[in-house]
Amino acid sequence: MVAASLVALGCVAPDASAHAPRAAAVSCAGSNTVSFSPGLSLAARRTRIDGSGAYSCLATDPALRSGTSSISGGGRNGCFSSDATTVERITWNTGEQTTVAYRLGNVQQVAGQAVVLVVGRVVKGRFKGRTVASPGLQATLDPLKCASKGGVELITGPSTLVIV
């Protein structure tokens, strides 16, 4: 489903200069670690989101090979649902930066295991105005923490980043 959504995204990405879909400007694979405060619990509640990511990339610009990011945001989140807005600030190996606002997403929380497909737009820096998709699977090592007082405070796992 994530792959199909990603393919569909590439085919419908807005391009004012032509009606044909454009190739991805950047395609990255890596991992994300995200913390929640307070931790995810059985019932959704307001949480603060902070995290980081690291990516290896292929790009139309061969000088762009990798990036690291910081993630911040918040919303109503729990072990079984997520409704949040996040911002990812990416620093590329070239020293350039990109800020992505994710306002549209499908985050399925299954006992602290997050299956993520978020779609956003570059709002600042390199690739400004382009569409971004970031599917991934971030997991907790102890999903039973959903029922604990502190909840799931940290999830980590593979993620991708595609800028079209």
Of 78, 76, 79, the closest CA to residue 111 belongs to 79
Lowest mean pLDDT among 16-20, 38-42, 93-97, 135-139: 16-20
Q: Is the pLDDT of residue 9 over 60?
A: no
Mean pLDDT of all residues in 119-123: 93
* DSSP classification of residue 63: T
Model pTM score: 0.78
For residue 106, what are its two tokens? Answer: 């499908």
Q: Which residues contact 18 (CB under 8 A, 6 or more apart)?
A: none
Q: Measure CA 109 to chain center.
A: 14
Name residue 110's beta-bridge partners.
113
In 3-151 the beta strands, taken as DSSP E runs, fall at 26-40, 45-59, 66-77, 82-92, 97-110, 113-125, 131-138
pLDDT for 111 equals 55
- Asked if residue 163 lies in contact with residue 60, where contact means CB atoms within 8 angstroms, the answer is no
**Whole-number pLDDT of residue 28:** 96
The per-residue pLDDT for range 65-107, each reduced to its tens digit, is 999 999 999 999 888 777 888 999 999 999 999 999 987 555 5
The Cα–Cα gap between 69 and 32 comes to 9
Distance, CA of 95 to chain centre: 21
- Where do the H-state alpha helices sit in 17-104? none
pLDDT at residue 30 is higher than 80: yes
> Once rounded to an integer, what is the mean pLDDT over residues 103-127?
74
Convert the pLDDT of each residue in 144-163 to its tens digit.
Answer: 888 888 998 988 888 899 99
In this prediction, residue 10 has a pLDDT band, given cuts at 50, 70 and 90, of very low
Measure the CA–CA gap between 81 and 86, rounded to whole angstroms.
15
Structure confidence at residue 141 (pLDDT): 59
